[in-house]
Chains A and B, each alone.
Chain A
Amino acid sequence: MIEKVKNIVFQNRFWKSVFRHGMPVNARLRSEAVMSNLFLHIHPVKIYKDSLLFRKTLGLGLISFYLFFILCITGILLMFYYIPHVQRAYQDMKDLEFAVSFGMILRNMHRWGAHSMVALVFLHMCRVFYTAGYRHPREFNWGVGVILFVCTLALSLTGYLLPWDQLAFWAITIVVNLIETMPIIGDDLRYLVVGGTLVGQNALIRFYVMHVMVLPLLVTMLIAVHFWRIRKDGGLARPE
C-alpha cells in the first residue's frame, strides 16, 4: 500500500522534473540532493570541515536570515488588517491584539523578531570582525553587510512609527528633529522624510511604503548578493 502511494507520488515526470535525484538514501544521493536545491546549497558541495563548525560562525548570519524570513511572512499577514491611516492605525493595532484570532501572537512574532534581528545582525557583524572575515578578498561583502545593517535599522525605525501610538509618534518626532540638525541639508531632508513639516498622514504613508516595499525588496536583493559573494570569495574565511 505504502509502496503504491510512494510510486504514484515519486515515480512520475512531474516529481522528477522538480527533484532530479532519487530518494536521498545514501551519501552520494544526499550530496546530490543538496547540490541541486536552491534552498540547501548555501554551502558548496565540497567544503572545508572547519567552516561547518558551529563555533566558527555561531550560526549568526543564518539566524539573521531566518529572522528576516519570519518577519516577511508575519509582516505580510499583519498587512491584511493594518491600514496606514492616522485615524485607523492605532485602532487596527488594538484589534490585532484583542479581536483578531492569533493576531496577538503574530504581532508579537513580528515585534520580537524585529528587535532580535537588529541584535543578531549586529552580533553577526561582530563575529565577522573578530574573525577578521572582512579582509581580502572579502572587503566587498563586508561592504554589502554594512548596508544590510543600515537597512535593518531603517526597517526597525520605519516599522516603529506604524502603530501610531505615543511611543511611535514621539520616537519619530525625535528622529526627524535629529535629521534637521544635519548641516546644510538638514531642513530639506527633514521636509522630504516627513513629507511636510509635521509628523502626520504624509509621514505615516512614507514610512509605511519604505517599511513594507522599498526596504524589504532592497534587503532581499542584498541578501542574494551577500550569499552569492560568500561562494565567489571561496567560502568562509579560515586561518591561513
Chain B
Amino acid sequence: MSSEHDRRDFLTYLGWFATLGTFGGISVASARYMVPNILYEPPKSYKIGKPQDYPEGVNFLPDKRIFVVNNGGNYKVISAVCTHMGCTPRWIAEKDRWECPCHGSIFNNKGVVIGGPAPKPLPWYEVTLGSDNKLFVNEDRIVPFSQVLTIAA
C-alpha cells in the first residue's frame, strides 16, 4: 500500500513542479521582455552648429530644449526644462530672467529659483568646441555657472 501512495505523491509533486515551472518561467520571461534593451531616443550629447550662429543674448533651441547664452563671446548652455514638472520656461529679456508659464516658477539669469514651486535650479550643460569648429553639448555633464566657453572673435 505504501508504495502505491509513494508513487501517487511523487506524480502529484511532479505535476505541480512542471505546472509551476512552466507558468513561472513564462511569467518571468514575459516580465523581462517588457523591459526594453534598445531605445530610439535622441542622444544626450550632440552638435548644435557654429558659435557664430548664436548672436549675443539668449537663444532658444526648441528641438533640443536648451538655451544657448552668448555673453560677448562667452558661451554657456542651460536646460529649457523646468525643474518643477517639465514645462519650457521662457526667457524674459526685460526682466533678465526665465519664467515658466505652467505654474509660475521664476529663475534668475544664473538659473537659480527665485520664485514659484520649482525645487531646483535649471542645470547648465557642458559645451565644448570641436575640431570642426562646432559647439558640442553634453547633457550628461552638469557644470557650475562659472564655467564658460570663451571663443576668441
Distance in Å: Cβ of A217 to nearest Cβ of chain B? 23
- For chain B, residues 18 to 52, give those with C-beta under 8 angstroms from any C-beta of chain A: 29-30, 32-38
Contact between chains at B30 and A102 (CB < 8 Å): yes
**CB of A103 closer than 8 Å to a CB of B:** yes
Q: What residue of chain A has the Cβ atom nearest to residue B29's Cβ?
A: A102
Q: Which residues in B have their C-beta under 8 angstroms from that of A99?
A: 37-38
Contact between chains at B36 and A105 (CB < 8 Å): no
Contact between chains at B33 and A95 (CB < 8 Å): no
A95 and B30 alpha carbons, distance in the complex (Å): 16
Contact between chains at B34 and A80 (CB < 8 Å): yes
**CB of A26 closer than 8 Å to a CB of B:** no
Instruction: Mark contacts of A69-108 with chain B using CB atoms, 8 A cut-off: 1 yes-contact digit, 0 otherwise.
Output: 0000000010011000000000000010001111101100
Contact between chains at B33 and A77 (CB < 8 Å): yes
Q: Which residues in A have their C-beta under 8 angstroms from that of B35?
A: 101
Q: Which residues in B have their C-beta under 8 angstroms from that of A95?
A: 38
A99 and B38 alpha carbons, distance in the complex (Å): 7
Q: Size of chain B's interface in residues, with CB distance under 8 A?
A: 9
Contact between chains at B33 and A101 (CB < 8 Å): yes
A99 and B40 alpha carbons, distance in the complex (Å): 12
Q: What residue of chain A has the Cβ atom nearest to residue B28's Cβ?
A: A102
Distance in Å: Cβ of B26 to nearest Cβ of chain A? 9
Distance in Å: Cβ of A80 to nearest Cβ of chain B? 7
A120 and B37 alpha carbons, distance in the complex (Å): 36
A105 and B25 alpha carbons, distance in the complex (Å): 13
Contact between chains at A100 and B30 (CB < 8 Å): no
Q: What residue of chain A has the Cβ atom nearest to residue B26's Cβ?
A: A73
A106 and B36 alpha carbons, distance in the complex (Å): 14
A99 and B35 alpha carbons, distance in the complex (Å): 11
- For chain A, residues 92 to 148, give those with C-beta under 8 angstroms from any C-beta of chain B: 95, 99-103, 105-106
Q: Which residues in B have their C-beta under 8 angstroms from that of A101?
A: 29, 32-33, 35, 37
Contact between chains at A106 and B33 (CB < 8 Å): yes
Contact between chains at B33 and A103 (CB < 8 Å): yes
Contact between chains at B29 and A100 (CB < 8 Å): no
Distance in Å: Cβ of A17 to nearest Cβ of chain B? 24
Q: Which residues in A have their C-beta under 8 angstroms from that of B36?
A: 81, 100
Query: Which residues of B come within 8 Å of A, CB atoms?
Result: 29-30, 32-38
Query: Which residues of A come within 8 Å of B, CB atoms?
Result: 77, 80-81, 95, 99-103, 105-106
**Residue contacts A-B, CB under 8 angstroms, 18 given:** A77-B30, A77-B33, A80-B33, A80-B34, A95-B38, A100-B33, A100-B36, A100-B37, A100-B38, A101-B29, A101-B32, A101-B33, A102-B29, A102-B30, A102-B32, A102-B33, A106-B30, A106-B33
